[in-house]
């Protein structure tokens, strides 16, 4: 099997992910649809050889993979950069490979709103980009970091698993650390970063107690922290952070989060009527009213208080879906399935009420 030729073909076809799984032909995902690449199913031996080849190309030791049977890393193949998730399934080696754009993409072409890019101008606090896997959170953060790079003289530390985008210093200095290669884990690297004169810290994902606790502390000490969570909407995001702490610490965390949380961005990709994918965003600049809700344990009111409203630092996800539907780009079912408040959205659509969007 000519592995590199398969990779090139999948990328040429617009693959967002490539699947190497024993017992199945090599497959790829394009516009959220799975397609097989012509060829016989991979045998267990072939899958293992391919994984070994990928590790050899990356220069990374497979020790972690053989110890845990799960490993994430980046590799350059066929002149392109890829994010690899190596795993074990049914006793055989397998991998899911995601192409990473070379260079920082154009945020305008990607449809990232200007109010998201404006988070680059913050001086301190916590900015969270949320959404399901594959919705483009890492790409959005890369665009924001690129804006910081071209507008400010700062030291930016990124902690990622794995490193996806490689930044070229302009006005900023970048220190990029990869979990498993440059550091043992997010929390350890984040604690160490506080002694490395950072101005901006990008944490690839706030996935555990230690990382979240240290990120909040870093924000309290005057740093600007960017990170991601696999949540949708400000309400579920706040609850996810608070619920990871023991009950006796949760009130303290509410107070910390209320004071440090600056912006919560939620992004989704929705299928359009022509089969493409369109981005839709919710952007919440946390104001005093929302801070009080967080502090007073009224997180259940966060999403409902936003409703379909857009303005005063709020860009509504449901408002964006409303606009896409009214423009004929998505179906009603697609709009309602992606909505945070589908009942409200349905009433707005059926009532013919337009919702002005923050630009």
- Which is nearest to 213 in space by CA: 232, 185, 189, 241? 241
CA–CA gap between residue 225 and residue 20 (Å, rounded): 35
Q: Which residues partner with 311 through β-bridges?
A: 314
Whole-angstrom CA distances from 282 to 17, 123, 242, 312, 338 are 25, 22, 21, 13, 12
Domain positions in the chain: 3-100, 107-351
- Full strand arrangement of the beta sheet holding 173-178: 173-178, 155-160, 200-203, 224-229, 125-130, 261-271, 277-285, 314-315
CA–CA gap between residue 305 and residue 292 (Å, rounded): 13
Q: pLDDT confidence of 133, banded at 50, 70, 90?
A: confident
Least confident of 73-77, 96-100, 171-175, 235-239: 73-77
Here the tokens at position 58 are 């990356």
Q: pLDDT confidence of 359, banded at 50, 70, 90?
A: very low
Residue 309 scores a pLDDT above 80: no
User: Are 144 and 226 spatial neighbours (Cβ–Cβ below 8 Å)?
Assistant: yes
Residue 213 scores a pLDDT above 90: yes
CB atoms within 10 A of CB 13: 11
Rounded to 5 degrees, φ, ψ at 175 are -120, 110
Residue 358 scores a pLDDT above 60: no
CATH class of 3-100: alpha beta
pLDDT digit string, tens, across residues 336-345: 999 988 988 8
Q: ω into residue 162 within 30 of 0, thus cis?
A: yes
Helix (H, G, I), strand (E, B) or coil at 241: helix
Highest mean pLDDT among 11-15, 74-78, 141-145, 284-288: 141-145
Q: pLDDT confidence of 1, banded at 50, 70, 90?
A: low
The pLDDT of residue 311 = 61
The pLDDT of residue 136 = 92
The pLDDT of residue 46 = 92
CA–CA gap between residue 290 and residue 166 (Å, rounded): 36
Residue 189 scores a pLDDT above 50: yes
CA–CA gap between residue 270 and residue 151 (Å, rounded): 32
Alpha carbons within 13 angstroms on the beta-carbon side of residue 104 total 17
Residue 166 scores a pLDDT above 70: yes
| Overall average pLDDT of the 241-269 stretch | 96
User: Are 140 and 269 spatial neighbours (Cβ–Cβ below 8 Å)?
Assistant: no
Across the chain, mean pLDDT equals 90
Here the tokens at position 41 are 């199913």
CA–CA gap between residue 112 and residue 352 (Å, rounded): 26
CA angle 299, 206, 338 (to 5 degrees): 55
CATH of 107-351, one of 3.30.565.10, 3.40.50.300, 3.40.50.150, 3.90.1150.10: 3.40.50.300
pTM (predicted TM-score) = 0.85
Q: Which residues partner with 266 through β-bridges?
A: 130, 282
The pLDDT of residue 154 = 97
Instruction: Give exposure, 285-317, as e/b (b: 16+ Cβ within 10 Å).
Output: bbeeebbebbeeeebeebbeebbbebeeebbbb
Chain center to CA of 33: 20
More confident residue, 280 or 40: 280
CA–CA gap between residue 137 and residue 267 (Å, rounded): 7
| Positive or negative: CA dihedral 66, 70, 74, 80 | positive
Residue 10 scores a pLDDT above 90: no
């Amino acid at each position: 099997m000519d592995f590199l030729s398969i990779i090139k073909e999948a990328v040429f076809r617009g693959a967002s992910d490539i699947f190497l799984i024993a017992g199945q032909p090599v497959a790829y995902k394009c516009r959220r649809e799975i397609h097989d690449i012509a060829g016989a199913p991979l045998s267990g031996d072939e899958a293992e050889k391919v994984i070994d080849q990928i590790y050899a190309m990356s220069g990374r030791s497979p020790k972690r993979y053989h110890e845990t049977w799960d490993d994430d890393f980046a590799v350059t193949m066929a002149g392109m950069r890829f994010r690899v998730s190596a795993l074990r399934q049914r006793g055989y080696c397998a991998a899911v490979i995601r192409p990473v754009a070379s260079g920082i993409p154009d945020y305008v072409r990607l449809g990232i709103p200007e109010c998201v890019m404006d988070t680059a101008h913050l001086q301190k606090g916590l900015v969270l980009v949320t959404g399901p896997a594959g919705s483009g959170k890492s790409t959005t953060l890369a665009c924001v970091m690129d804006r910081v790079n071209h507008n400010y003289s700062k030291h930016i530390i990124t902690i990622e698993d794995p490193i996806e985008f490689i930044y070229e210093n302009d006005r900023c200095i970048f220190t990029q650390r990869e979990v498993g290669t440059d550091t043992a884990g997010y929390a350890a690297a984040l604690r160490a970063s506080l002694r490395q004169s950072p101005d901006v810290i990008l944490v690839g994902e706030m996935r555990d107690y230690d990382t979240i606790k240290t990120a909040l502390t870093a924000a309290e000490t005057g740093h600007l922290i960017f990170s991601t969570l696999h949540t949708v909407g400000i309400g579920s995001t706040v609850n996810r952070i608070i619920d990871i702490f023991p009950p006796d610490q949760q009130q303290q965390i509410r107070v910390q989060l209320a004071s440090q949380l600056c912006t919560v961005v939620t992004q989704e990709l929705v299928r359009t009527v022509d089969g493409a994918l369109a981005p839709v965003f919710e952007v919440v600049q946390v104001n005093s009213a929302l801070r009080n809700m967080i502090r007073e344990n009224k997180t259940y009111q966060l999403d409902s208080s936003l409703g379909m409203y857009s303005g005063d630092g709020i860009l509504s996800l449901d408002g964006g879906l409303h606009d896409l539907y009214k423009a004929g780009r998505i179906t009603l079912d697609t709009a309602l399935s992606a909505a945070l408040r589908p009942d409200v959205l349905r009433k707005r659509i059926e009532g013919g009420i337009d919702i002005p969007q923050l630009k």
